[in-house]
Amino acid sequence: MKKYNFSKLAWVLTFFMFSCYDLTELNVNPNGVDPKKANPNLVLSTVLTETGMEYTRLNFDNIMGGLMQHTQKDGWSSAHNDYDWGGSQSWTEWYAILRDNQYVYDRSVELGYELHQGISLVMKSMIFGLITDLWGDAPYSAALKGAEGGEQNTFPVYDRQEDIYTGILADLEKANTLLSKSANEYTGTTGNADVYYAGNPMKWRRLANSLALRFYNRISAKKPDVARAGIEKIVGNASMYPIITAIADEANMAFAGNSNADSWPANAVYDASGSNFRRIKMCATLVDKLLDLKDPRIGVWAAKVQIPLVVDSTLTGVVDRIENGKRILSLQRVQGLAVNTHPEYVGLPPGMLGGAAYNLSPTAEQAANNPHVSWLNDIYKQAKGNQLKARLMSAAEVHFILAEAAQRGWNVGIAETHYNNAIKASFDAWGVGGNYAAYIASPKVKYDGTLKQLMEQKWIASWNAAAQSWFDYRRTGYPELQPGTQAVRKAIPLRFFYMLDERNLNKANADAAMSRMELTNFSGPEAGNSAWSKMWVLQGTGKPY
């Protein structure tokens, strides 16, 4: 997935030559690409693939899986497990993608390519939405104007989060209109550049309106009237505002698997040591919930323990032996130790001291080869595969949003129907649809009308897209996660820190943004830049603490 720096793609070179040519004559590089003439597809593919890759890294191999206790790491784990972030989380890659995306939009306007304009507005909205969800106030209105010069563009103001959401929703409305034609009515096609939807305008339109549902739901506590009107408008006019309701319309991106750069993160194909894969373990919080609900998705996401532990109370003395593929232990051997003897799935507790040694691991080094804890399913060792996708927007998420809106009494249908459809969509997406009927009939799963149940099921369904569950947790307090003993603070963080470089280079605007944060009991000395301080969307809500 090569990144293109379009300030360098094509240059007209001038140089002195001792020949018969006029010294003022320009020599054009025949191998270059002129940004003023290039097909926007050349850059569109980069925007889409880099977005998919960065989103997957964020949710799977970076921080979100650990933060939302889907996974834990038993090596190099402090950021993943314990919220030891500092200023390490950077928005540089996201703004680089946005600059390329702005080129796609501007060039498409010049060419009259309305399909490309609509796609680029959807991507702009998705990425800026993610940036403000992660950091809060951020450069927006002047963020992509550096080439125009001037201090206001070189050091852009941090727009207020409220204004960013307003701008995003306006762009998605515009995109819905631009994408409203049939495919044969557009000038210019995406060709192979569109790795999400192969140039299908209706599917892009569904994504635009589904993202609008996401962001209306995000502001529902702060602007309930705006959120209700927006969601009811979309749901009430399906022909004007189609949305994602089936997995065939989900915004997913498969991985090519040709090199480590275009493969699933932490795969064991291009990492011969397998260390990156090996250090990611299932988290006990998720494993225990899946086991309690008898949820079949656990078999898709997790591997069974290689050697189960068995504590035999009839044994005397210190007994510790392998027998018939099991590790047999006496009571005296495990006295005073935390031992999980589930015969199939064992998760690593969140934020614990000595995770590499958990459950009597025989090897307690970093990224332990621990046979008594559930690793990820072997599919995650691969560079590509049917389930190895960037999952940017799912049918399950849309149905959960509508279920929540219906619970509030908004005119969007029946909450239980949307709740059931959300779970079914997740089951179908993960290939266990045949188990849906029995699962939904279980007393522990059957709809009980509570926000707690709804958010817990949405949290489960956000596997590989845990950032969305974090944003839900912040505004609802569900699921009720507890930090581990090694966590930097005894509360779940609420945002990413602004980076040190940004605070130094764009100090006045960064300081202004930090001054608008609401401090909490956990903010600490970082104050307005703390990961435990509240951005606008949480201020005054009393959530999650």
Residue in 23, 106, 74 with CA at minimum distance from that of residue 361: 74
Q: What is the mean pLDDT of residues 171-187?
A: 97
The reported pTM is 0.93
User: pLDDT confidence of 310, banded at 50, 70, 90?
Assistant: very high
Which three-class secondary structure string do you get for 233-293?
A: HHHCCCCCCCCCCCHHHCEEEECCCCCHHHCCCCCCCCCCCCHHHHCEEEEHHHHHHHHHH
pLDDT band at 32 (very low <50, low <70, confident <90, very high): low
User: Which of the four pLDDT bands, split at 50, 70 and 90, describes residue 343?
Assistant: very high
pLDDT for the residue numbered 272: 86
More confident residue, 8 or 396: 396
The mean pLDDT of 165-169, rounded to a whole number, is 98
What is the pLDDT, as a whole number, of residue 145?
Answer: 87
**pLDDT of 480 higher than 50:** yes
Structure tokens given for 363? 């090897």
- Taking residues 42-65, what's their average pLDDT? 96
* Helix and strand totals (H; E) in the chain: 20, 11
Give the per-residue pLDDT at 33: 66
φ, ψ of residue 163 to 5 degrees: the values are: -70, -35
Cis peptide before 479 (omega within 30 of 0): yes
At residue 9, the pLDDT reads 36
pLDDT, greater one: 61 or 350: 350
pLDDT number for residue 11:
32
245, β-bridge pairs: none
Which element (helix H / strand E) includes 320? Answer: strand 320-323
The Cα 345–Cα 302 span in angstroms is 8
Indicate if the pLDDT at residue 20 is higher than 70.
Answer: no
Residue partners of 106: CB distance under 8 A and separation at least 6: none
Model pLDDT for residues 116-128, shown as the tens digit of each residue? 999 999 999 999 9
Q: Residue 347: what pLDDT?
A: 98
Q: Tell me how far apart the alpha carbons of residues 183 and 186 are, in angstroms, rounded to a whole number.
A: 6
CA–CA distance, 189 with 206 (Å, rounded to integer) = 18
- Say if residue 215's pLDDT is above 80: yes
H helix or E strand, kind and range, residue 323: strand 320-323
- Reported confidence tier of residue 30, pLDDT bands at 50, 70, 90: low
Average pLDDT taken over every residue of the chain: 93
Read off the pLDDT band of 17 (50, 70, 90). very low
393 φ/ψ angles, rounded to the nearest 5 degrees: -160, 125
> Where do the domains of the chain lie, and which CATH numbers do they carry?
41-81+89-262 (1.25.40.390), 281-381 (no CATH), 488-539 (no CATH)
The reported pLDDT for the residue numbered 335 is 94
Percentage of the chain exceeding pLDDT 70 = 94
Residue with tokens 């006045």: 508
What would the two tokens of residue 527 be? 């104050």
Phi then psi dihedrals of residue 73, to 5 deg? -115, 145
Beta strands per DSSP E along 138-201 = 138-139, 158-159
**Residue 365 pLDDT > 80:** no
Mean pLDDT of 198-204: 98
The closest alpha carbon to 210, from 226, 233, 234, 232, belongs to 234
Tens digit of pLDDT for each residue in 235-277? 999 999 999 999 999 999 999 999 999 999 999 999 989 999 9
80, containing H or E segment: helix 78-82
Q: How many angstroms separate the Cα of 478 from the Cα of each of 35, 42, 100, 288, 440? A: 47, 42, 36, 16, 20
The answer to whether residues 391 and 464 touch, using CB atoms and an 8 Å cutoff, is yes
**Number of residues that this document lists for the chain:** 545
Residue 329: C-alpha distances to residues 49, 298, 326, 337, 361 (Å): 50, 27, 10, 12, 13
Alpha-carbon distance values, 16 to 8, 29, 32, 74, 210 (Å): 21, 15, 20, 61, 57
Q: What number is the average pLDDT over the span 156-184? A: 98
pLDDT, residue 150, reads 85
What is the token pair recorded at 438? Answer: 């029995």
Say if residue 377 is exposed, middle or buried (CB neighbours under 10 Å; 0-12, 13-18, 19+). middle
C-alpha radius of gyration, the chain, whole number: 25
478 — pLDDT class (breaks 50, 70, 90): very high
For residues 422-449, give the mean pLDDT.
98
Are 316 and 332 a contacting pair, CB within 8 Å?
Answer: yes
